[in-house]
Amino acid sequence: MPLIIFDFDGTLVDSRALILECHRTVFTEFGLPVPAAQDSLALIGRSLELVLAELAGPDAPLLDMVATYGRVLPRLRADPAFAERPFEGIGALLLGLSRRSRTQLGIATGHTSKAVVPALTTLGWRDWFSTIQAADMAPSKPHPAMLLQAMAAAGVTAGEAVFIGDTSFDMQMAKAAGVRCVGVTWGYHTAEQLKEAGASEVVPTVGELQALLESSL
């Protein structure tokens, strides 16, 4: 039974507005300069504490900032102006895959489980995923632990799994786990970055991703 593991932000959902507003709110609350949008978006995929350390510096009150982010995120997510939006065609792709009796789906994300599970529930996707790996369960990407744990939970080998993501961190994680990795270009890193990080294939549209997966199943 093959396992298809997806990243969340930038792969399944467009979270630009939510992430940038979270950063703006948190940095403003602590009296810190708000990072440039391109700097914030370039780090998506890594665990929050590492992102904040990179953007604010190691001397910033990182633990307090992480706690504030956790408070701010649900409030902003409830606002339609900032809530994550599935990329066009993703919902149908996931639904079709979930109906395949011999296919399992998973998530491996830089979010914490307390952040990603409510998002999946709101989107109506929670029951489609047999394994959810998050930043509070393993070291940050590109460490391979999340994928190794996903495969163990699903009872599959690396040769029976594929990981789909939109950042170089995703591709590096998959390579370290020995898993085939597919990069998508509608997220936060370019096709060139994905290829340099070790993507097995790079696709520019959800339709081409669907065709690739169907040809592999």
Pairing between β-strand 85-86 and β-strand 13-14 as defined by DSSP bridges: antiparallel
Is 7 a catalytic site residue? yes
Under a CB-based contact definition with an 8 Å cutoff, are residues 168 and 194 in contact?
yes
Cβ-based burial of 28 (10 A; exposed 0-12, middle 13-18, buried ≥19): exposed
Among the listed residues 9, 14, 64, 170, the single catalytic one is: 9
- The residue to which tokens 């993507």 are assigned: 199
Distance of alpha carbon 215 from alpha carbon 22, whole angstroms: 39
- The residue to which tokens 């959810």 are assigned: 132
Under a CB-based contact definition with an 8 Å cutoff, are residues 53 and 60 in contact?
yes
Q: What is residue 203's three-state secondary structure?
A: strand
Among the listed residues 7, 59, 79, 127, the single catalytic one is: 7
Give catalytic residue positions: 7, 9
